[in-house]
Structure 1
Amino acid sequence: MSAEGRVYGYSAVLMGSPILLKLFEHNEGRAMRVFRLIKQLETLLTVNRPHSEVMAINHAAGDHPVVVSQPVFNLIARAKEVSMMPGSCFNLAIGPLVKRWRIGFNGDSVPPAKEILALRALTQPQQVILDPQLRSVFLEKRGMEIDLGAIAKGYIADRVRDLLRQEGVENALINLGGNVQTLGGTPDSSPGSWGIGLKKPFGAPDELIGVINVTGKSVVTSGVYERYFEIQGQRYHHILDPHTGYPLDNELLSVTVISDDSIDGDIFTTLLYGMGVEKSLAYLADIPAIEALFVTRDRQVVFSSPRQFSFTLRDDSYHLA
């Protein structure tokens, strides 16, 4: 690779994850602007701190509507729309269940069944009332909590991409920990695309099943190996089924979505996880802009239709379906 094609990496820890920015010029000012934007958006959307626009909504549940900024309102409206789809496993009102399980946040026990049943009554997305004219959000019942964790990283990754485009950047990569958004490809390299590693479930951090190659696309992976605990050989992961209140249990170990926008990757990894492989493939047949790659418990790698990416298998204990 020539000097012009040299990659400069900048990193920070934000949103509880290591953040990596790759540029093809040394520009610390640009990296600082990217990290500042991520921090600003995290401050608006987080539920892991006592004060944010989202937490203001949660604190006022059952009491009064809260007026929020237009970007936050738009994001909540998008999350509610997806949550209301028939059979959707995406649910912006799942906060009480996430908070009770605490998987990934020192949670190591299964809540009593009666408690889960009671909390499910507080996770009805239709009880999130939106007023577009006032830009207000109202949670009808006390104890309700919205949680945008399933969509916030994708939204932030897209805003970083937009900032870089505004600054005239043609080739770059931002990795928000599970959400990778790329601009262009890698100059002076063949085939010119970004190689995104597909992690081996429950393997060492650097163990890969293979490499996904993309140009100017988002790659979002969600897996049961990311945050979990085990009790008596039973594994409980962080991807909860809002219809049961328990972790989703099907043939999948991970779902990766390739799309233009990272927010779509966030949304579709959750939707497809709930559907399983067969229903997902049928569903995606009518959505050409979204492609997916599934890793199953029996070590199969299944794709929908790889038009927007290519995949190279690196681990011969897995096989392409």
Structure 2
Amino acid sequence: MGTTVSLTLIEPNDTVAQAVFDSIKLLEDKLTVNRLISEVMSINLAAGSHPVTVSSSVFSLIEQAQKVSLHFNSCFNFAIGPLVKLWKIGFNGQQVPPAKLIKQRLLLTDPNNIELDTNNRSVFLKKFGMEIDLGAIAKGYIADVAKLILHKYQVYQGIINLGGNVLTLGSPLTNENSYWHVGLKKPFATDDKLSGVIKVKNKSVVTSGIYERFFIQNNHLYHHILDPKTGYPLDNELDSVTVISNSSLEGDIYSTVFYGWGLDNSRKYLQKHQNLSAIFLLKNKTIALINPDNFVFQLIDTQYKIITD
């Protein structure tokens, strides 16, 4: 998945750990677009030609990704694959593509042009050159599956960390009032400096930020969160969005949605959905905490000013 995956358990258990990592490997093999062979790549290679039948788990995830892509007016779009491949941000050859090519690729990113057949569990990309990319949702789904496996083995305390997707089970040790501590990275820091620490129990913590994958060309920063409407990296007031939720899949979805919406529109949504919480790091060194009843935040970097809703 292009990241380090770690599992922390209160008591050593090689059988449980092996079951979790075997499951992660199996799901990655199905969902990746970074290899020629996977269920998702089979769909992409058949674009404009014929539907492809996939496993129930992959079909279910694609259904959810399409629903979110169509429902939210945001930068969440699982059909954005052709643009991701064009920009190559975070990979060899990254550069600003010609405007003409961006316009051409935009025509291949409409999620309405993806036909799902529930009865046959088949997926059809109607236009040649279309590609789906589940990168914005796959890690959250995999983390939730790992949690189910841990519960199957009656493990109810621990941390699953899929590089930016942190899912905590229960609370640490035997103290029910204690919290897991999840670091919130300082944007663009050259080392492991933190903006703050998020304290949670039995919650998912997922961050979407512009500082993990980016490049600079002609003194302008280009990051990996692309705007499906323009084809260019989204430009707003945010450095990152962190979502605290019950499931990691929710965190994946809403961290991307909220980044696309920006602070004001996200705040309006969160005021109506108190089960979700979010932390917004703004470029002006402000940290906005929305629905903070679900977590505790400890400020580390005193350059920031906190506002709370």
Query: By how many angstroms is 1:233 displaced?
Result: 1.4
Task: Report whether the alignment pairs 1:213 with 2:213.
Answer: no
Pick the aligned partner of 1:22 from 8, 12, 15: 8
Task: Report whether the alignment pairs 1:93 with 2:117.
Answer: no
Conserved? CA contact 1:108–1:230, under 8 Å = no
Task: Provide the C-alpha distance between the structure 2 equivalents of 1:207 and 1:191, rounded to a whole number of angstroms.
Answer: 27
Conserved? CA contact 2:244–2:276, under 8 Å = yes
In structure 2, what is the equivalent of residue 300 of structure 1?
Answer: 286
Query: In structure 2, do the counterparts of structure 1 residues 86 and 41 end up closer, same or farther at CA, with 3 Å as the change threshold?
Result: closer
Deviations 1:248-273 (A, max 9, x none): 10000000000011011110011101
Task: Provide the C-alpha distance between the structure 2 equivalents of 1:233 and 1:183, rounded to a whole number of angstroms.
Answer: 43
In structure 2, what is the equivalent of residue 77 of structure 1?
Answer: 63
Conserved? CA contact 1:82–1:88, under 8 Å = no
What are the equivalent positions in structure 2 for 1:63-142 lying under 5 Å apart? Answer: 63-142=49-128
Conserved? CA contact 1:154–1:264, under 8 Å = yes
Task: Report whether the alignment pairs 1:149 with 2:118.
Answer: no
Task: Report whether the alignment pairs 1:252 with 2:238.
Answer: yes
Deviations 1:164-221 (A, max 9, x none): 0111011010100000011101114685110000000011342001100110000000
In structure 1, what is the equivalent of residue 170 of structure 2?
Answer: 184
Conserved? CA contact 1:228–1:235, under 8 Å = yes
**Structure 1 length as normaliser, TM-score?**
0.94
Task: Provide the C-alpha distance between the structure 1 equivalents of 2:64 and 2:273, rounded to a whole number of angstroms.
Answer: 18
AA in 1 matched with 2:61: L
Aligned CA-pair RMSD: 1.1
Conserved? CA contact 1:195–1:212, under 8 Å = yes
Conserved? CA contact 2:276–2:291, under 8 Å = no
Task: Provide the C-alpha distance between the structure 2 equivalents of 1:286 and 1:89, rounded to a whole number of angstroms.
Answer: 21
Query: By how many angstroms is 1:30 displaced?
Result: 1.6
In structure 2, what is the equivalent of residue 274 of structure 1?
Answer: 260
Q: SS where residue 317 of structure 1 aligns?
A: coil
Task: Provide the C-alpha distance between the structure 2 equivalents of 1:249 and 1:221, rounded to a whole number of angstroms.
Answer: 17
In the alignment, structure 2 segments of 5+ residues that lack a partner are none
- Further displaced range: 26-35 or 90-99: 26-35
In structure 2, what is the equivalent of residue 315 of structure 1?
Answer: 301
Task: Provide the C-alpha distance between the structure 2 equivalents of 1:86 and 1:25, rounded to a whole number of angstroms.
Answer: 41
In structure 1, what is the equivalent of residue 215 of structure 2?
Answer: 229
Task: Provide the C-alpha distance between the structure 2 equivalents of 1:182 and 1:150, rounded to a whole number of angstroms.
Answer: 20
In structure 2, what is the equivalent of residue 261 of structure 1?
Answer: 247
Task: Provide the C-alpha distance between the structure 2 equivalents of 1:27 and 1:125, rounded to a whole number of angstroms.
Answer: 43
Q: SS where residue 84 of structure 1 aligns?
A: helix
**Structure 2 length as normaliser, TM-score?**
0.97
Query: By how many angstroms is 1:64 displaced?
Result: 0.3
Deviations 1:261-302 (A, max 9, x none): 101111001110111111110111111221110000011100
Task: Provide the C-alpha distance between the structure 2 equivalents of 1:295 and 1:307, rounded to a whole number of angstroms.
Answer: 18
Structure 1 residue ranges, 4+ long, deviating more than 4 angstroms after superposition = 188-191
Task: Provide the C-alpha distance between the structure 1 equivalents of 2:257 and 2:164, rounded to a whole number of angstroms.
Answer: 16
Query: By how many angstroms is 1:304 displaced?
Result: 1.2
Task: Provide the C-alpha distance between the structure 2 equivalents of 1:270 and 1:26, rounded to a whole number of angstroms.
Answer: 35
Query: By how many angstroms is 1:243 displaced?
Result: 0.7
Deviations 1:39-61 (A, max 9, x none): 00000100000000000000000
Task: Provide the C-alpha distance between the structure 1 equivalents of 2:275 and 2:227, rounded to a whole number of angstroms.
Answer: 26
Task: Provide the C-alpha distance between the structure 2 equivalents of 1:118 and 1:174, rounded to a whole number of angstroms.
Answer: 40
- Further displaced range: 201-210 or 138-147: 201-210
In structure 2, what is the equivalent of residue 55 of structure 1?
Answer: 41
- Further displaced range: 199-208 or 65-74: 199-208
In the alignment, structure 1 segments of 5+ residues that lack a partner are 1-14
Count matched residues: 307
Deviations 1:143-184 (A, max 9, x none): 000000000000000000010011101101010000001110
Conserved? CA contact 2:43–2:52, under 8 Å = yes
